[in-house]
Amino acid sequence: MLPGSWAGRERSVAWVVGGPGWTGAEAGPGWIVLDWGRGWCGPVRPSCGRCSLVLPQELCRAPGPRRRGPTGGDFSAAFVFGEAEAGGEGTWAAALRQLRGKRAATTLDEKIEKVRQKRKFQEREAKQAKVRDEDTETEDNQTKKRECEDFSRDEEEDVESQYSLDDETLFTKADTVKVKEWRRLKKGEMEAESFFEDASQYDDNLSFQDMNLSRPLLKAITALGFKQPTPIQKACIPVSLLGKDICACAATGTGKTAAFILPVLERLIYKPRQAPITRVLVLVPTRELGIQVHSVTKQLAQFSSVTTCLAVGGLDVKTQEAALRSGPDILIATPGRLIDHLHNCPSFHLSSVEVLILDEADRMLDEYFEEQMKEIIRLCSNHRQTMLFSATMTEEVKDLASVSLKNPIRIFVNSNTDVAPFLRQEFIRIRPNREGDREAIVSALLTRTFPDHVMLFTQTKKQAHRMHILLGLMGLRVGELHGNLSQAQRLEALRRFKDEQIDILVATDVAARGLDIEGVKTVINFTMPNTTKHYVHRVGRTARAGRAGRSVSLVGEEERKMLKDIVKTAKTPVKARILPQDVILKFREKIENLEKDVYAVLCLEREEREMQQSEAQINRAKKQLETGKQETLGEGLERSWFQTREERKKEKLAKALQEFDLALRGKKKRKKFMQDRQKKVQMTPEERSQFEILKSQMYAERLAKRNRRAKRARVLPEDEPAAVSAGPKRRKNLSVFDEELTNTSRKALKQYRAGPSFEDRKRLGMAQHRKGGNFKSKSRYKRK
Ligand SMILES: Nc1ncnc2c1ncn2[C@@H]1O[C@H](COP(=O)(O)OP(=O)(O)OP(=O)(O)O)[C@@H](O)[C@H]1O
C-alpha cells in the first residue's frame, strides 16, 4: 500500500491513506482519511464537491510521513486524479482496485507462488553474491562472463530444486513394503437383533430389467453406463419397491445412492402426484454430498417428469425458497437448512412426505444432528416409508428407534467395518520419539511415490491449511477443503480436484463421507481418524465402483489400538510401508527451511483479511454517507429457528464445556492442552502432531462416554405397544421394585448402597438398629 500518500477518489469523496505519524489533521473537507490496517479513522465531512485532485506522481512512490493537501503548494494543478491516469497496472490502479467495492482478492495459491518466486530470487541473489566474493581478485571481464554463465545454470537448477535436495536417494531409494500379519475376526458376527427381519441374501442373477423398473429409468441407467446392479442394489431395490422400511449397510463406493433413488423414482413415476407437493425427502450430512446426491437423482430422473430440489446450507436461501414453493417431488437437504425453510417458508411443510431417506444414516442419528433430527422427525408425516443407508450402519435398536422404523428389513451386504473390496491398506509406523516426522513423511510420499489423484486427510482445519501452504511451496498442485472456507471456495476446490487442475486435495472429515470423486488413486491419513468408522469412510474415497485404490495411514504409538482393530477386521492383508530414514531427514530439513515462507504466506493472508475488513468498513461508511442512515447489522435478514437464540447459545456452551471438561481431565493432559493452546501459533512439528492426535482422542472419548450413557429412545417404533401413548406424558404406575431397580440416578444408587433409611425401616417393621451399632466388623467384610 502507499503509506502517507494519496490513494484515490470515488465520486465526490477523496481518499487519502495516512502513513505512520500522519494524523489526518490537514485533510480537506470531503476527505475520508484511511489509516491502513484499521479502516477509516479520520474526519468524514460532507463533500466539498471538489472533482479533481492534483498530485505529482513521484510523491506516490516516495511515501513520507506527511503530505500536504490539495490546497498546499506541493502539487501540480495540471495533474488529473482518476482511473485513467494510471494507464495500466500502476500503483494507483492497484490502490484503487483495493479500495473499490469489489476488490480482486488474491488466492492462496497466488500468495504461495509470490513467496516462492521471492525465495527463488533471494537464493539466486545469494548465490551470485557468493560467486562475486570468491572471484573479486580475477579480472572484471572474466568475472562478468562467469556470473552470466552461473546465472543461467542456476536458473536450470532452480527448476530441479522444486523436488530434489541435491540427493539422488530422495527419488531412487525405494520404500520397503511388508505384508502385515492378519487374521479374520475370531468371534462370529453379532446376531441381528429381533427388531429386524433380515433380507441380506439377494438373487445374484437379478438384472435391472428383472426389477420391473419403468422405461425412463432403464433408459437413464443405460445412459449412466450401469450394466449390472451392484449387490446392494440387487438386495435393496425389490424390498424398497414393496414400501418396506429398510436399514441397509454396504461398503463405500458400491452404489448405495442409486439403490435408494431408483425405487423412489419408480414409485413417483408409477403413481404420479395429484398436486405439487414434496413426497420424498433425502437427508444428507454435508453440503457437498447434498449437491452430489441431487446431481445423481437428476441424472436418473432425466427421462421422466419427476422434479427435484436441493436445499443445503451455503447456497442462496431465496432461490431455494422459490423452488420449494413449487412443490418438487424429491427434496435433498441438509438438516439445518431444511429446518430453516420449515420455519421461514410458510407454504412449505413435511406432512406430505411419503418416503424419508437418511443417507449416511449413522452420522445423521449421532449427537451432532440430534436436536435437528428430532425436530425434522416431529414434523414428518407418520405414514411414511423410512430408509437408512450407510457403509457403517449401526444395528443398535436404541439408535434407530429415534426414526420410528416400522418392522424394518435389515440388508447388510457388508459388515459395518468392511472397507472397499479393492482397497490396499498400508500403514507407516511413527516411532514414539519421531512424531514430528509426519509432515516430512507425507511430503516425501507425495513428491516421490503418490504425485497425483491423492486425498490427504488431517484432523484439524489448521493443519489442512498448513499442509496446503507447505506442499504448495514445494511446487505441488494442491487444494484444501474444510469448514473454514466459504461455500464457493469449498466447491471450487472440489471442482479443481475433479477436473485434475490440482493433484492433491487436503481435507478434513467434512470430505470423508459419501463424496464420489472419480479417479482418486490414494488416500493418505496424516493421523489416524477419531474412530474406525471415520477410517472406513476416509479410505472409502478411493477404490470405488469396482476400481482399485490405496490408502496410506500414519500410525503413532497412541494410535496403535485402532490399527490393531483394522488389521483384525481386514479381509485382505494390510501392508507396512517403511520410508528410508535419510529421505525423511532430508524432507524434514526442507520443511524447516520453508518455515519462514509458510509464515510469509500466512502474513500475506492476514494482511489481505485486514484489508478486506477495512474495505467493508469503508463501504459501510460510504453507504452511510450516501443514504444518511445508520446501517444495522443483519437488517431485515432475521430468520426464525426452532430454538430460541438463548437455547442455541446454551446448547453450544454445553457442548463447549463438555469438550473442555474432557480435555482437562487428567493432570498431564490438562497441562499439555493448555501449553498447546498458548503455543498454537508457533508449534514444533512434534507438538503439531500431538495436537492432531489429542483432538481425535478427545472426540473418541466423548463418543465412548456418550455410548456408555443409557440412551433414551426419542420415539419408539410405532408398532411397539409402548409407542401408542401419543397424548400428553403420563406417569407410569411403576411398582416399588420397578422404580427402585430402574432408577440409576446418583442419589438412588447412594441410597441403595446405604440400605433403607431410618423412616423406611420403621415403616417396614424392620429392626431399627444394626447389631453392633454402625460398626462393621472385619468378619462382616469377610463374609461379604
Ligand atoms: N450398477 C452400477 N454399475 C456401475 N457403476 C455404478 C453402479 N451403481 C453405482 N455406480 C457408480 O459407483 C460409484 C459409487 O456410487 P455411490 O456414490 O452411490 O456409492 P456409495 O455406496 O453411496 O458410497 P459411499 O458409502 O462412499 O457414500 C458412482 O460413481 C456410481 O456412478
Would you state the pLDDT for residue 528?
95
Strand-pairing partners, residue 779, are none
Tell the residue nearest (CA) to atom 1 of ligand 1.
229
List per-block mean pLDDT (blocks of 10 residues) for the chain, which spans 784 residues: 41 42 47 40 36 34 40 40 36 38 66 86 82 66 50 36 42 65 44 62 90 96 96 96 94 97 96 89 95 96 96 91 93 94 89 94 87 88 92 77 83 92 95 91 96 96 95 96 92 94 96 95 95 95 96 93 92 92 95 94 92 88 77 54 65 59 54 60 72 73 66 41 41 47 64 69 63 47 44
Name 503's Cβ contacts closer than 8 Å, sequence gap at least 6: 451, 452, 453, 454, 476, 477, 478
CB 340 within 8 A of CB 641: yes
Name 640's Cβ contacts closer than 8 Å, sequence gap at least 6: 343, 344
- Say how many Å lie between the CA of residue 577 and the centre of ligand 1: 30
Q: Which set of grid coordinates corresponds to residue 680?
A: 498454537
d(CA 377, CA 353): 11
- Say how many Å lie between the CA of residue 294 and the centre of ligand 1: 14
Tell the residue nearest (CA) to atom 2 of ligand 1.
226
Name 762's Cβ contacts closer than 8 Å, sequence gap at least 6: 768
d(CA 605, CA 91): 20
CB 408 within 8 A of CB 246: yes
Helix, strand, coil percentages, rounded to 5, for the chain: 45, 10, 40
What is the Cα gyration radius of the chain?
A: 33
Q: Are strands 176-179 and 575-578 parallel, antiparallel or unpaired?
A: antiparallel
Tell the residue nearest (CA) to atom 12 of ligand 1.
545
Please report the ipTM that was assigned to this predicted complex.
0.99
CB 450 within 8 A of CB 441: no
- Say how many Å lie between the CA of residue 254 and the centre of ligand 1: 5
Q: Which set of grid coordinates corresponds to residue 665?
A: 481431565
Q: Which set of grid coordinates corresponds to residue 75?
A: 502539487
- Say how many Å lie between the CA of residue 251 and the centre of ligand 1: 10
Question: Ligand 1, closest atom to CA 516?
Answer: 17
d(CA 425, CA 419): 9
In the chain, the amino acid numbered 655 is K
d(CA 268, CA 646): 42
Measured at the CA of 86, the angle between CA 84 and CA 88, to 5 degrees, comes to: 100
Per-residue buried b or exposed e for 349-380, using 16+ beta carbons within 10 Å of the residue's own CB:
bbebbbbbbbbbbbbbbbeebebbbebbbebb
- Say how many Å lie between the CA of residue 215 and the centre of ligand 1: 21
Phi first, then psi: what are they for 457, rounded to 5°? -100, 135
- Say how many Å lie between the CA of residue 339 and the centre of ligand 1: 29
In terms of Cα–Cα distance, which of 182, 173, 258, 254 is closest to 220? 258
For ligand 1, mutation pick of 252, 254, 292 (most atoms within 8 Å of CB)? 254
Residue 150, helix vs strand vs coil: helix
Report the phi/psi class of residue 298: left, alpha or beta, with left for phi > 0 and alpha for psi in -120 to 50: alpha
Tell the residue nearest (CA) to atom 20 of ligand 1.
253
Q: Which set of grid coordinates corresponds to residue 370?
A: 440430534
Strand-pairing partners, residue 555, are 429
- Say how many Å lie between the CA of residue 550 and the centre of ligand 1: 18
Cα distance between the two ends of the chain: 82
Question: Ligand 1, closest atom to CA 232?
Answer: 21
d(CA 119, CA 125): 10
In terms of Cα–Cα distance, which of 18, 20, 42 is closest to 31? 42
Question: Ligand 1, closest atom to CA 292?
Answer: 17
d(CA 523, CA 450): 10
- For every residue of 312-363, DSSP letters joined together read -TTS-HHHHHHHHHT--SEEEE-HHHHHHHHHH-TT--STT--EEEEETHHH
Residue 148, helix vs strand vs coil: helix
Q: Kindly give the residue spans of alpha helices, DSSP state H, lying in 183-230.
A: 215-224
Question: Ligand 1, closest atom to CA 514?
Answer: 27
CB 348 within 8 A of CB 371: no
The answer, as to whether pTM is greater than 0.90, is no
Name 430's Cβ contacts closer than 8 Å, sequence gap at least 6: 437, 438, 441, 554, 555, 556, 557, 689
Q: Three-class SS string for 615-681?
A: HHHHHHHHHHHHHCCCCCCCCCCCCCCCCCHHHHHHHHHHHHHHHHHHHCCCHHHHHHHHHHHHHCC
CB 705 within 8 A of CB 690: no
CB 38 within 8 A of CB 23: no
Query: Edge-to-edge, what's the strand order for the sheet holding 246-249?
Result: 197-198, 409-412, 246-249, 385-390, 355-359, 280-283, 330-333, 308-311
Tell the residue nearest (CA) to atom 4 of ligand 1.
226
Tell the residue nearest (CA) to atom 15 of ligand 1.
255
In terms of Cα–Cα distance, which of 198, 190, 267 is closest to 235? 198
CB 713 within 8 A of CB 402: yes
CA 284 to the chain's CA centroid: 14
d(CA 592, CA 582): 15
Which own/partner contact pairs does 444-449 have at CB distance under 8 Å and 24+ positions apart? 444/170, 444/579, 444/583, 444/584, 444/587, 445/524, 445/552, 445/579, 446/471, 446/476, 446/504, 446/524, 447/163, 447/474, 447/476, 447/587, 448/170, 448/171, 448/583, 449/175
Q: Are strands 39-40 and 31-35 parallel, antiparallel or unpaired?
A: antiparallel
- Say how many Å lie between the CA of residue 544 and the centre of ligand 1: 7
Ligand 1: residues whose CB is within 6 Å?
A: 226, 229-230, 233, 250, 252-258, 391, 514, 516, 540, 544-545
CB 231 within 8 A of CB 251: no
d(CA 277, CA 284): 20
Question: Ligand 1, closest atom to CA 228?
Answer: 1
CB 294 within 8 A of CB 272: no
Question: Ligand 1, closest atom to CA 226?
Answer: 3
Residue with cell 516425501: 444
Strand-pairing partners, residue 505, are 455, 479
Tell the residue nearest (CA) to atom 22 of ligand 1.
256
- Say how many Å lie between the CA of residue 545 and the centre of ligand 1: 6
Q: DSSP secondary-structure letter at 753?
A: H
Phi first, then psi: what are they for 680, rounded to 5°? -45, -35
Name 158's Cβ contacts closer than 8 Å, sequence gap at least 6: 120, 123, 124
| Helix 256-270 × helix 215-224 angle, to 10° | 150
- Say how many Å lie between the CA of residue 388 and the centre of ligand 1: 16
CB 147 within 8 A of CB 128: yes
Q: DSSP secondary-structure letter at 7?
A: E
Q: Which set of grid coordinates corresponds to residue 142?
A: 572474466
